[in-house]
Each structure stands twice: as C-alpha cells, then as structure tokens.
Chains A and B, each alone.
Chain A
Amino acid sequence: MDYEKVLSNKVQQLQFSGIRKFFDIAASIKDVISLSVGEPDFNTPWAIRKEAIRTLEKGKTTYTANAGLMELRTAITDYIKSRTGLEYDGAHQVLVTVGGSEAIDIAVRAIVDTGDEVLIPQPSFVCYAPIVTLANGVPVIIETTAENGFIITPDEILKHITPKTKAIILPYPNNPTGAVMRRRDLEKLADVLRNTDIMVISDEIYAELTYGDERHVSIAQMEGMQERTILINGFSKAFSMTGWRLGFAAGPEPVITQMLKIHQYSIMCSPTMSQYAAVRALTDCEKDIETMRNEYDMRRRYIVKGLRDLGLECFEPEGAFYVFPSIKTTGLSSQEFCERLIQEKKVAVVPGDAFGESGEGFIRISYAYSLDHIKTALNRMEEFLKELGK
C-alpha cells in the first residue's frame, strides 16, 4: 500500500515538533536529569482526586451535556468573575473542553476559512501554527525579542495585519519565555484591535502562575475587548491536573456556539469524572493553588539567580514555570548546546528554537521540579559551562 498517496499531503508536510525530537535523544540516555517537562511536579490536590473517586463510586460515568456539566460551567463563570470581574453566561458562553489544547483547536477551526491569516507570536507553545495549518489557514509569525520582554507590541501587530487577518493568538503568561503581558501592555494592544474584526484567542492556561504584586490580567478585561476575545484556560497547570485533560473556553455566544458544534461532533463531551473533580477544584482549592504558586515563585527566583551566577543572560520571567536564558555567549546553537549538555552532563533542557525560529540562541528550562533536583542540575550545568570555556 502506498501510504504517501493515501495520507493527506497537508498532514504529511507537517513537522513533528522539535521537542519530540529532543525527547527521543533524552530517552536514549540513561540517568538523565531533566529540566524539560511542561507539567507541574505536584500531585493533584487530594480533595480533587477524592471527588473523582467519589464520582466513580457513585457510578457517574455517562456523557455529560456537550458543553459540559452545567454545574461546572457555573463554577467556571464564578471563577472567571472572581479573577477578572468579567461576566459570562454559563449556559451560552462557556464550553468545557479536553484541555486548553482542544479549545485552541476548535477556536481556530471555528474562525478560519481557507487562506485566512492568524497572527502567532513566537517563541510560543508548539501547537498554534500546526493547528492553523490544519484548518487551511496561514500562520503569520510575529517574532518577539528578549529586548522587548518577549511581549507583543501594537507596532508589530499593525505591521502584520492584512485584510485576511482573522485572529491573533495571545499566549501569555508565555511558554517558553515566562513573559507576561501586564495591564498597560494589554491596553495598547486593545487600542489597536478594538476597531477591527480580528478575534483574540487568548491562551491563559498559566494565568494563575503569575508572580509579583500584580495578578494576571486578561485582554478581555480591556474596554471593548470581551466581545472580540475567546478566553481559554484550563485545569492542567494551576491545579496540577494535566492528565485529567480538562480546559475551557469563554467568549461571545456566536463564537462559542460554532465551537460547540465542532466539539459536539469530534469529542461529544469532556471526561465526566474530570468535570466533577474540576467543580471541586474551582470551589475548594484556593489554598492549594496559592501554596503551589508560592513554591514555584521561590524556585523561579532561585533558578534565575543560579543561571545569572553561571554567567548566562536571563530574562526575568514573571509567569508560568519556565526560564528562557540566552546561550549566545557560548557560541553554540540551541540544538548544539542542548545535545552536548545532555551527552556530556546528562541534563535535559529544551532548545529554544523548538518554539519558533526566534527562540534560537535560547534554551527553555522548567522549574516544575524540587529545589534539590534543580540544584543538582545547575551544578552540572556549571561544570558544562566551565568545560566549554576552556
């Protein structure tokens, strides 16, 4: 059978992410110390796990409504309101999805027709461009820089807008850079976007993991922006629930209705046990989130100082659980640096170019690990850099 003929050209031309390639290398080496995961190291808080167990004991294992349990959608609208002041109608403006990823996918699919353009800032999470491509859209990359704090500026948006621009992805707090967009930055973006018909797909999965005195702000909070924003969040990062596969989208009813159509045909509904557990997460786990956030924050400061002490230029991350230091002074490319680091010192970090070409010259380091683990890895990196310098 000639599979190349059978399989879609579009899909075959899609590349596996650079992260997967690096995973293969890491998996082939024994006793690797990894600083490469994109998921929390904490167990899901016990109250949430208990709720799921109870759900199973009661035999609540059927489908739910397509859009998700009404009880959960209500909890989600309360949660969004408490964090942002924004009001959504749980019955028509909220959709419970299989992780934030599904929400991104169906948001793009609901908006994009063939040839439509979607603005994507990079470095960023690996899924945006492929999802746009699969929807027959055209990803238009906006490269952010360390000098600009890896945020997206109004000028950059204006430069890339064309009559075909349908949407912009706004991935903040950002994976891999740890950059956040503060209120003042969002105001400026809103000034540019307010008078357009461009939808903002705001991926706020790391919203709870924003450090410093100012909490996370959503672009939907800016004047006139709620009606042109699809707010996406989920339970994976904040509640340490990656394996539960649960996220949500909140937005204008006409958009959510179309997204629901796709969701209904492709997914039916999100996992029922996860949904019940998520209600508990939203109503009963404020303290757990805070404990985890404080722990991440402490590690963040520790690792940033550690890397700077090693002589690496390190942008101050204010969100998520990643640092994105520059390795340009070593003269190595991101790939070379990471491959040699893992071969010579068995430390796995992710090459920055896996998150877009503008990530070249950087590496992504995750601090979703214990302090002891991070310390050991930093010691090995120190040895590595010393040997490089010789």
Chain B
Amino acid sequence: MRPTTLRTAGGVLALAALVTAAGCADRGAVSEDAADYPSKDITLVVPYQAGGASDLAARTLAEQLEQELGTSIIVENRTGGAGSVGLQHLASAPADGYTIGYLPVETVMLGFQGYEVDPADYDLIGQMVSVPATVAVPADSPYETLGDLVEAAEKEPGKITVSNSGAGSIWEATTAALGEATGTEFKPVPFDGGAPAVTAAIGGEVDAVIAGISETAPAHADGQLRVLAVFDEQPSESLPGVPTAAEEGVDVVMGGWGGIGAPAGLPDGVKQALEEAFEVAASSEEFTAIITDSGSIPVNVPADEFASFVQSETQRFEGLLSDRG
C-alpha cells in the first residue's frame, strides 16, 4: 500500500471513529423524565412504503412535529403484511414516546382479517387525515346517479362489478357496506392498488369503482370518470356538484383515515406533550396545504375524540368483516 492510500485509509478510519463516538453518545441516554421530553430523536413508524399517500401524510406531519418538539423525527417505513408488520413493531416498542407511529384505518380492520393487530395496543394522539370513499363510473356509463347503479344491482344482484384497490381494503369493505345498506349485492373486483382499479373503470373494464376521493377526483375533473357519490357527511370541495351518499338515500359514511399513535402506556406528561405538539402541527398551514393538494382532507381530531372514533370504527368493522369471514 502506498503512503497516500494509507493516509486516506487513516482519514476514513478517523472519520468512522468520530461517527461511532457521536452515534454512541445519543444511545447512552438513560430513563426519561417526562419533564425533559423529548431529549433525543423520535422514530415515527409508517407501516407502508415510502412515497405513498400514508407516507406523505406522515412525513409532512413529522416535519411540523419536529419544529414543535424541537427534536429530529426519523420516519421509518416498516412494510409488509398489509401494514401489520409495522403496526406490530409499533405495539411492541417501549412506551416512552420515542417511538410513535402512523395509524391507518387498517389498524381497526386487520384484527378481523386474520392479522394480530389490536387497536387497544396503542395510545392515540390524534387524527390528521381523512379520505372519504367515492363511487365512480366510466364517463360513458349509463348510470347517472347512485340510485341508477343500485337499481341495476337490484335487477341482477352480484353482477355489477366494482373494482377496488385490493382484497381486504377499506374500499372493498365499502363495497360490501354499500350492498348491505341497499339490500343488494355488488361484485367486488380487487386490483393491485388504487390506480389500476381506477384505470379499470376509466377503460370500462368494470361497471364502477370505489376508491378514495384523492384517486377519483382528478379523473372526474378530466372527464374520464363520473363520481356518483361521496361517502361522507358533507359534499367535498374537490368534487363540486357531487352529492353525498346520504343525499342519494344510501346512509353509508366510510373512508380511509390516518392518525398518530404510540405504544399503549405512555407516561401522562409525554402523552400530553405529544398531543399538544400534534394539535399545532396538524393545523399548521404547511401541513393542511400539502394534504389538500394531494387530494385528501386534513383534519385535526384531538386524542379523546379520536379514541372514541376508533372504538366505533372497530365495532363497525367487526360487524362488516366478521360476517363474511
């Protein structure tokens, strides 16, 4: 080895030693007092892949939370098992406030689909996004209203095909709920993701699609799809003139949502600090602007309200998903 190479190697070695020393320092932290929380980096577990809608919501909120809490938040994507891998990882992390996670609607569904996920394993901090379900038909479809579609299904139960983003998804559950509420049956056709499901409807492969508003609204605006109804309490700004399902006589309110949670058993002080930071972060202009632009609806539901919402959702999915199991 020539002297220059040796010197370079020595330099790299020194750098490595430095990095090691710096890295070890923050690991040395001992048991935490709620008063000085947070005193080190916080990890935010996202149970889905980087780049998706959930990831976007989580990362955007993390940026705002960082400013509020005055510490770095490292977003960690733990994917797999329809989200259950990341959710289980979160549930088994120490309840010290240094591991928090993104909780999607699947948190209350997976338990009824053969995964070991229980919403009771989490302390809820707050809900920040909502993605109401929509039902849409191809632009040249004969069905002009939700009533037309239901009527067609009543004529031939189980013949009207409705695409969704995947087996076991909230959108497939919405299809089942729509059938149950109207006393008929639609045939769900699961695809690999929301975009292919919407494409199938644009291309006329299926009679209709049930997907999140962020996925159908752009195609509606372009005239490729016709959204018949939004499964929400009020009409959406991004779909002017489109009624809610209730206005069309179908009492179904359903959709995806996302919030922040932590492993159950947080110290009170830590939980309060997180809740306060969440409230500011979720109502920040930056957060609401990015979420609105992405087509979802930013909300800011405080912990106690979120907890009772999760409870009612759990009961509802127990009824909806267990019948078919």
| Chains A and B come from one and the same complex | no
Q: Which residues of A are at the interface with B, using a C-beta cutoff of 8 A?
A: none
